[in-house]
Amino acid sequence: MNIEKIVLNNFLNLIKIDTTSDEHSKTFPSTKTQLEFAKVLAKKCEEIGLENIYIDKNGYVLASLSGTDKSKPTIGFLSHMDTSPEFKGTDIKPNIIKNYTGEDINLKGITLSKNDFPSLNNYIGKTLITTDGTTLLGADDKAGISEILTAFEYLKNNKDLKYGDIKLAFTPDEEVGNGVSHFDVKSFNCAFAYTIDGGKIGDLNFENFNAASVSIEIKGKNVHTGYATDIMINSSMVANELISMLPNKTPTNTKDYEGFFHLCDINGNVEKTNLSLLIRDFDKEEFENKKEIIKDIVSKLNKKYNNNIKLVIKDSYCNMYEILKDKMYIVDRAKEAMQKADIKPQISPIRGGTDGARLSFMGLACPNIFTGGHNFHGPYEYICLESMVKAVEVIINIAIL
């Protein structure tokens, strides 16, 4: 079985299908295209010869492979079906570069340069898959799906290998924070699991941000500008004032374990302005402090502008380390699986979140493993084919250890 050929073919076929999620939708999944994609994945599971294949009422795709050694634990592997709504995910035209020589990669209107993206230096002589410059690629997380499917096919065709029951789950709406909102952990019935949703080769994550979303509505008072003295309240100007009062901790100027405030969207005029922000921090106490900072700013501005500001803060997910710190054997298994594949594990905190973070608090301990991709959610996204092959090997090794 040619793992490289199969994982590449899986990936190229899957990224053709639009599965962009919608953060403003009131349905689950948030887009109908994800339900159609679920049918494609279920059919692929049938072709491989997996068992217990079904799409549940919430659009989750589930399947299993009976183990050859029932003394081994039942392990789950998960990836998400949707792609980020932050950038165009339709009409994806991948660009395959074999034997990359280190040159700048010129795409439509943009350039993938080693000066801007030094990670490219690690892939000289490798095969890269990029966008054409007009869309994202969809490696987040169709690479993970492709790698799981390829690994399960390999195990299905190699019954001489010893592994316990293994299960897969493909989830919708991870990119909009609802990926496992309706996931039935009890029915999945695994001892532990792994999300295949990380970045560069070797990435192994068991820490992630504590996360909250913030919605702010500012109502202004619009009157004729010629008679506005001491009367007009320009909601857009109030929004600007609010933003200026935030600490200078943004994604741009923070790294490693530093948390931040992130302004995602601002939309308004004199009469009304809406803002959406993210709060992120690894430390629980600092996370709560950041929420208090927002509350204090809004309180001060409400006193100044006659209670014209409404604030809603909603927690999204918590740091999975709180669960995994007492179950590090799950992480150690992944480390050993990587070392067996001649990969040096790269332990790093996720400056974001995965389905695994929420699953860990739902009773299914679930660290995160690399897919091989870089620069997700935009036109600079790319992935290394050889890294995808290694991700497949790691999944196989986790199963047979």
258 is catalytic: no
Residue among 18, 82, 140, 165 flagged as catalytic = 82
- Using DSSP's 3-state secondary structure scheme, residue 363 falls into coil
d(CA 28, CA 59): 8
Q: What share of the chain is helix, strand, coil (3-state, %, to 5)?
A: 35, 25, 40
How far is residue 308 from each of residues 270, 274, 388, measured CA to CA in Å? 13, 12, 51
Residue among 18, 147, 153, 174 flagged as catalytic = 174
Residue 79 parent element (H or E): strand 75-80
Strands 61-65 and 75-80: unpaired
d(CA 80, CA 60): 9
d(CA 12, CA 94): 8
82 is catalytic: yes
Up-side HSE of residue 307: CA atoms within 13 Å toward CB? Answer: 0
Positions marked active-site:
82, 174
